[in-house]
Structure 1
């Protein structure tokens, strides 16, 4: 992949052979964010897990203390009193069966997170083929299948992120924006890594975290030392 001049200049600041401590890595990532927009800072964690085995799957969620810097649109599937509760808590969209054709047939996907009460999962399940591939299916482990819709919405709006293994057993998650202070990014990074360490599957044999890379949307990757987590 051919990169532009700005990327080349930014990449010169990073020693690809070095594993930096988190504070240094965060400083470098901020320096290498040269795009005209406020880039997202992402963490990419290569694990030693084999996601083909259910007991080695990793999936969960964590509320970042300083949020993600992104305005998140929440869709809630509920009925009765829970519909009113979701609206009062600040959900962007609320509904039930009537939303199915809108999503299935009209391709409406103007939301970032889907929350559902357990009694609505039969309805939401019909959207599996649409929401599943986009990582939008509500899930109890992520706290998005719950009767406490107020807490779910508040957590998401406050900066809750979901983490899970992809097909290559890598976890990709945002931890803020390049405009965040180094302290804010460091706090978010620590909250994420604490959650990832707690999620370590007991069935895993061998090394859990193989590599950690920090990068902005358009910037070069900066390797972070895994020594602390071995």
Structure 2
């Protein structure tokens, strides 16, 4: 009986023969990420793309309507016929690069659109230079003792000048405070000078303009009551000042002459567009500025 059962068991199919056949896989192949197929463009390709983009921008710019200055004035006068006291506003868009200083300057318009605000001048000077500054009309004159008054807003000024011998004394404490306000004395702008009295005399009869951080400049330029010739003259005077400050003028200013004498050059800030507008009228791009 036992022998019969043993022979039947031997005739059964082997369990191992019915077992599933497993294959082994290298663990390194599972964890390895597929290689990236993203194509990185070369410098030459990027430059070509930039040129195509610039060419497209030029074409789009050419499609925009632009008018000569005299025609733009006529359109705005028609729009403001019921508001003779309305003011023309000039908008200038400049393109600031990385590390480019915000453009600013002073202009003496032949005919002011608004009463000129009086400048309050503070001068860091000592000795004979301080006396000259007081005689020239400076409102606040002193040495390093003025620093605390500026920091706590006891001394407020629209223009701050400094003689060269004091600039290193005031810069550590006032640089970060006055810099963002555009009031820190600077050799590039001519506000660090030995000729303090001469600078103050040049301030009389002029008004300051300054771009914002985006490079936009806005200024009231005339009123609707002005003859067309006066409006045109004011626009040309203002744009001449902007071109000098941004390096777009053939006429070199004092800062340019100083840089050239030291072998340096000033970066040119491109002027992208000039728009003349009024309170109720449209903004009109000017073609001949």
Name the TM-score, length of structure 1 as normaliser: 0.67
Seen in structure 2, the aligned counterparts of structure 1 residues 122 and 222 have a Cα distance that, compared at 3 Å, is farther
Preserved contact between residue 125 and residue 142 of structure 2 (Cα < 8 Å):
yes
Task: Please list every run of 5 or more consecutive structure 1 residues that lacks an aligned counterpart in the other structure.
Answer: 1-16
* 1:31-85 superposed Cα distances (whole Å, 9 cap, x missing partner): 4997xxx9986533112x342055xx56353432446722111111111101000
In structure 2, the residue matched to 1:223 is 283
In structure 1, the residue matched to 2:219 is 174
In structure 2, the residue matched to 1:86 is 133
Could you tell me how far 1:181 is from its partner in structure 2?
A: 4.0
What is the rounded CA distance, in whole Å, between the counterparts of 2:175 and 2:81 in structure 1?
39
92, 99, 108: which is aligned to 1:64?
108
Q: Does 2:255 match 1:195?
A: no
Q: Secondary structure at the match of 2:97?
A: coil
Seen in structure 2, the aligned counterparts of structure 1 residues 69 and 98 have a Cα distance that, compared at 3 Å, is same
210, 215, 225: which is aligned to 2:272?
210
What is the rounded CA distance, in whole Å, between the counterparts of 1:90 and 1:99 in structure 2?
18
May I ask how many residue pairs the two structures share in their alignment? 200
In structure 1, the residue matched to 2:43 is none
Q: Secondary structure at the match of 1:197?
A: helix
What is the rounded CA distance, in whole Å, between the counterparts of 1:153 and 1:89 in structure 2?
6
Instruction: Report 1:1-230 matches (<5 A).
Output: 19-23=66-70, 28=76, 31=80, 43-47=90-94, 49-54=95-100, 57=101, 59=103, 61-66=105-110, 69-104=116-151, 106-125=152-171, 126-164=173-211, 166-170=212-216, 172-174=217-219, 178=223, 181=226, 186-198=232-244, 199-200=247-248, 208-214=270-276, 219=279, 223-229=283-289
What is the rounded CA distance, in whole Å, between the counterparts of 2:149 and 2:161 in structure 1?
17
* 1:4-32 superposed Cα distances (whole Å, 9 cap, x missing partner): xxxxxxxxxxxxx8645445656748949
In structure 2, the residue matched to 1:13 is none
Preserved contact between residue 126 and residue 143 of structure 2 (Cα < 8 Å):
yes
What is the rounded CA distance, in whole Å, between the counterparts of 2:243 and 2:92 in structure 1?
11
Preserved contact between residue 276 and residue 285 of structure 2 (Cα < 8 Å):
no
Q: Secondary structure at the match of 1:98?
A: helix
More displaced stretch, 72-81 vs 117-126: 117-126
Preserved contact between residue 212 and residue 223 of structure 1 (Cα < 8 Å):
no
Could you tell me how far 1:112 is from its partner in structure 2?
A: 0.9
Higher helix share goes to which structure? 2
Task: Please list every run of 5 or more consecutive structure 2 residues that lacks an aligned counterpart in the other structure.
Answer: 1-63, 249-264
Higher strand share goes to which structure? 1
Seen in structure 2, the aligned counterparts of structure 1 residues 107 and 228 have a Cα distance that, compared at 3 Å, is same
Q: Secondary structure at the match of 1:152?
A: helix
What is the rounded CA distance, in whole Å, between the counterparts of 2:207 and 2:129 in structure 1?
21
What is the rounded CA distance, in whole Å, between the counterparts of 2:150 and 2:65 in structure 1?
46
RMSD between aligned alpha carbons?
Answer: 3.7
